[in-house]
Chain A
Amino acid sequence: MSGDIRPDAVGVTLEDVGLAFGNTAVLKGINLKIEAGEFFTFLGPSGSGKSTLLRAIAGFGPEPSGRILIGGDDVTRLPPWKRNVGMVFQSYALWPHMTVRKNVAFGLEERRLAADEIKQRVAAALDLVGLTEFAARRPAQLSGGQQQRVALARTIVVEPRVLLLDEPLSNLDANLRIQMRRDILALQRKLKLTTIFVTHDQEEANTTSDRIAVLDDGVIQQVGSPMALYDNPANRFVAAFLGTANLLDGRIERAGGKSVFRTGDGTQIPLAVVDRADGPATAIFRPQDLSIRAAREGDGAGAALAGVVQSREFLGHLIRYAVAVGSHVILVDDTHQAGRPTFAEGDKVTLILDSEQVRLLPS
């Protein structure tokens, strides 16, 4: 049955898109090319402009500057009802006065399809999201997850050229959220539908997306696959927003023919890969790039950093230590297994940094 719904995937291009609410610029010079069939995510904290950008693609909100192209057509000045982009709202926005079936049929009725075809496609869409037996219910009689699936069915049934998802999982509890994101991804793969997903949750973004655009302050900070963003953040914001990172300010210097990174308090980190000239820089490395052991005589040379455990968090599969090194606090992850020795607050420890993993950014 699901074969009835076959949207054609098209790409979305944003050319220098800008948008302001009154005098407040919310989006600034957004340029982006989203490929046909891609699962693309706008990731950013609240207020970053990600939802505003999504709504601009759907045609809601103030008219943006620049151009928005869907499948090559300039839609910048088209009203929402002429764009044929399907949007799933954060609140689902199911109409409470209509049954599930009527909700799903709505868009098809607006398109003046024949009653027979509407019936078939509604059935197919409900089948696709597994809600066939709930067709006669009202939205208020459904659970949050079911409402979410109705919203999804209502949107995909019209075979939109692009599927827009505005934080669709934020109203669900943690377990359901994981289930739903898998379901949404499976659906997207099955329909090969170009999908743009808005979230502030990096785990959601990482697990679903082909590519992510990280937004902050109305500007795209970086675009790339989840792993590329994590491994090679373009700036401090991306590094800190995606996962936990140690960020140290200092200078790249030459010492004994080798490049080292030296912070203001004299802490020294050897560098394996140096892709920029000597001078001020920021060093980035993740907690798992270090290992921790008890301090021993003779420590202090090479990639070892001497420090004192300040605090620790037990996270189940690992223990995250905050270690004072000079004037810095460095986070270190240590795998946890039953019986494996742990460190207590005040313990003197040595941190070994895998210098291959240190990334350098202009400060």
Chain B
Amino acid sequence: MKSLSQSHWGPGALAVCLSLFLVVFLLVPVAKVIYVAFQHPNTGALTLINFFDFFNNSLFRESFLNSVYVAGMAVLVSSLIAVPLAYFTTRFTFGGAVLIQTLGIVPLIMPPFVGAVAMLLLFGENGSVNLLLNDWFGFTVPFMKGLNGVVLVESIHYFPFILINLSAALLNIDRAMEESAQNLGASGTRLFCRIVFPLAMPGYVAGASLVFLKVFDDLGTPLLLNINNMLAPQAYLRITTIGIGDPMGYVISVILVAFSLFSLWVSFLALKGKDYATVQKGGGGLMKRDLRKWEKVGCYAVVILILVMVLSPHIGLALLSFGTVWSFSVLPDAFTIAHYENVFRTATQYISNTLLYAGLAALIDVAFGTAIAYVVWRTGLPGRQWLDYIAMGAVAIPGVVLGIGYLRTFIEFQVPIIDKPLATWWVIIVVALAIRRLPYALRACVAGLQQVSIMLEEAAENLGATKSRTVWRVVVPLMSGGILAGFVTSFATAAVELSATIMLVSQQSDAPLAFGIYEFMQSAAGRGPGAALGIVAVIIVGIATYVSHTVIESGERKRQAGAAVAAAAGA
């Protein structure tokens, strides 16, 4: 409807700048990676030989199968955790609901690799749990043995994706959907199987495919658990040990991207044309019922068991950070604050680097997110949707792949004045973080913009404000909630990113927190300080998550006010 005819160069120039940034820092590096994967290592001709080599190598075949297995099992285990929790909260009036909602946030404030070592100490072969099991019952459970460890750590970290999506889907089912089935004679399990479950299915699949994608791409957790026979670690190891000329890293990257795209496609299919959010005015979610006494006991038992599991990385990490020596014992021998002293004496560089990188990346994200949202939703520029698609496409690019792409693409580009390759300058880490987190910030900004009724803009223009004045005085203030939420989300997740940064850190003084934790955790002596640094990361992310939660809550209230405006306008 809005045409650009009488409008200015502004939006056009903005769109060109945004596209340029995305092309240079997202499309070109990824294209480069894909191109190299299909390029003969010696002749440079296009070929499939690298892929043949890959599948002829038993280590790579094993890595590939392991990655698929771990991602699949992680989906299964996360489902076992998330599905009962989602069901309890949406079907029963249950005091534990608040507990469960907290469960949904707690794991997300710690990247999985941070807790991985602590999980070894709690659940490993000689960890606390198995020592106790052995003492009491004379057997042990290989929770953390080999790939099991990766599955467990990833599941505990990523199950909230299923919990959140499935709960939302269940809550969005209009009560009339259920009542009409009852009215026609359905009840109990048949009602659940025929109506409730199919209606909630898209939410579950969306969550599950996200878990698959995240686990398949994760580099930090297997590295920390010393599991190298998986795809992402193999890509990292090939590039860091053999060099950026080795084609195997690129082949693995292509496979990672392909699987990411595949799981996104599955999630897209699951949701396509199935906007089952059926709540109508006066509707309300599914009917809840009270629990009988013994049911309540059972529910609480399940919830508390899961809560303990979910909190175990945090508990383990805290113990580790305050413990002196912790080996072959249920708890550390003694407690100390020496590790924190150590960290604050020697490792503050990591913290300040992280605040700088994550802060800058989040700033870039919200600036670009706002700009892209505006260009896509408020202008008539031809092809404007592509900005949205490309920016969102970053979701499908694993950190390892982006890291490899940057190394390969920018190693030859000398930055003027400082005279070093762009690929080894710290700014490239910021750019990588910004690109990787842009999708989250962009969605938050779009949500913010969609809250702003176009009529509010027209009112400003009608009273004499130009386009840019309108954006500045009306649009940006009204979408500030979304922008802030986007900033905090980007910041919190960028602060603990490891997979791209680990490839791009070229010197110790440039390294951020996540890298520092990884470095510390490499040696037994470094575990204490590493854990202390991990706790610092958890606190930073925790504060940021709390802030974003508060911002989103208040945004929700504002949205209701905005909806009232829209409703009044529609009436």
Could you tell me the distance between the alpha carbons of A96 and B174 in the complex, rounded to whole angstroms? 11
Q: Using Cβ atoms and an 8 Å threshold, which residues of chain B touch A154? A: 180, 184
- Which A86-119 residues have C-beta < 8 A from chain B? 86-87, 89-91, 93, 95-97, 106-107, 110-111
A146 and B199 alpha carbons, distance in the complex (Å) = 22
Complex Cα gap A81–B180 (Å): 9
| In the complex, B84 has a CB within 8 A of chain A | no
| A107→B179 contact, CB < 8 A | no
Question: A81 contacts B177, CB within 8 Å?
Answer: no
A60 in contact with B179 given A97-B276, A110-B184 (CB within 8 Å): yes
Q: A58-B183, A97-B274 are in contact. Are A91 and B280 (CB under 8 A)?
A: yes
A80 within 8 A of B: yes
- Bound Cα distance A80, B186 (Å): 9
- With A93-B174, A140-B273 already in contact, the answer to whether A107 and B184 are too (CB < 8 A) is yes
Complex Cα spacing A84 to B184, Å: 7
- Knowing that A60-B179, A81-B186, A87-B183 are A-B contacts, what are 18 other residue pairs whose CB atoms are under 8 Å apart, sorted by A's residue number? A58-B179, A80-B182, A80-B187, A85-B183, A86-B183, A87-B179, A89-B176, A89-B179, A90-B176, A93-B174, A95-B198, A95-B199, A96-B274, A96-B278, A97-B198, A97-B274, A106-B194, A110-B185
Report A125 CB to chain B, min CB distance, Å.
12
Residues of A within 8 A of B181 (CB): 95, 106, 110
Smallest Cβ-Cβ distance to B183: which chain A residue: A87
Tell whether B145 is near chain A: CB-to-CB under 8 Å. no
Chain A contacts for B280, CB-based, 8 A: 90-91
How many of chain B's residues touch chain A, expressed as a range? 20 to 34
Closest CB-CB distance, A358 to chain B, in whole Å? 38
In the assembled complex, B190 has its CB within 8 A of some CB on chain A: yes
Known: A110-B190, A140-B273. A95 touches B177 (CB 8 A): yes
CA distance A59 to B176 in the complex (A): 13
A299–chain B nearest beta-carbon distance, Å: 45
The answer, yes or no, to whether A66 is at the interface (CB within 8 Å) is no
Chain B residues near A60: list those with CB within 8 A.
179, 182
Q: Which 3 A-B pairs have the closest CB atoms?
A: A107-B184, A93-B176, A110-B185
Chain B residues with CB under 8 Å of A89's CB are 176, 179-180
B contacts, CB < 8 Å to A: 174, 176-177, 179-187, 190, 194-195, 198-199, 201, 273-276, 278, 280, 282-283
Question: CB of A279 within 8 A of chain B?
Answer: no
In the complex, A155→B176 CA distance in Å?
14
Q: Select one of B176, B187, B274, B275 contacting A81, CB under 8 A.
A: B187
Cα distance A93–B175 when bound, in Å? 9
Contacts of B274 in A (CB 8 A): 96-97
Q: Which residues of B contact A97 (CB under 8 A)?
A: 198-199, 201, 274, 276
In the assembled complex, 5 residue pairs joining A and B whose CB atoms fall closer than 8 Å, in A order, are: A95-B180, A97-B274, A107-B184, A107-B185, A110-B185
Chain A residues with CB under 8 A of B198: 95, 97
Given contacts A89-B179, A93-B174, A95-B199, contact A106 B184 (CB under 8 A): yes
State whether A106 touches B186 (Cβ < 8 A).
Answer: yes
Given the known interface contacts A80-B179, A93-B179, A97-B276, the answer about A110 and B186 at a Cβ–Cβ threshold of 8 Å is yes
- A93, B182: Cβ atoms closer than 8 Å: no
In the complex, the chain A residue whose C-beta lies closest to that of B282 is A90
Contacts A95-B199, A97-B199: A79 and B185 contacting too (C-beta < 8 A)? no
| Chain A residues, Cβ within 8 Å of B174 | 91, 93
Residue contact A81 to B278, C-beta cutoff 8 Å: no
Nearest Cβ distance between residue B102 and chain A, in whole angstroms?
28
Inter-chain CA distance A82–B174, complex, in Å, is 22
A224 to B179, CA, bound (A): 31
> Which chain A residue lies CB-closest to B179?
A60
Q: Select from chain A the residue with minimum beta-carbon distance to B199.
A: A97
Contacts of B201 in A (CB 8 A): 97
* Interface: A158 (CB within 8 A): yes
Question: A55: nearest residue on chain B (CB-CB)?
Answer: B179
Q: Is the CB of B185 within 8 A of A91?
A: no
In the complex, which residues of chain A have a beta carbon less than 8 angstroms from the beta carbon of B190? 110
A149: min CB distance to chain B, Å:
15
Q: How far is the CA of A96 from the CA of B199 in the complex (A)?
A: 8
Please give the distance in Å from B178's CB to the nearest CB on chain A.
9
A93 to B278, CA, bound (A): 8
By the criterion CB–CB under 8 Å, are A81 and B182 in contact?
yes
Chain A residues whose CB sits within 8 angstroms of the CB of B283 once the complex forms: 91
In the complex, chain A residues whose CB is within 8 Å of the CB of B184: 81, 86, 106-107, 110, 154-155, 158
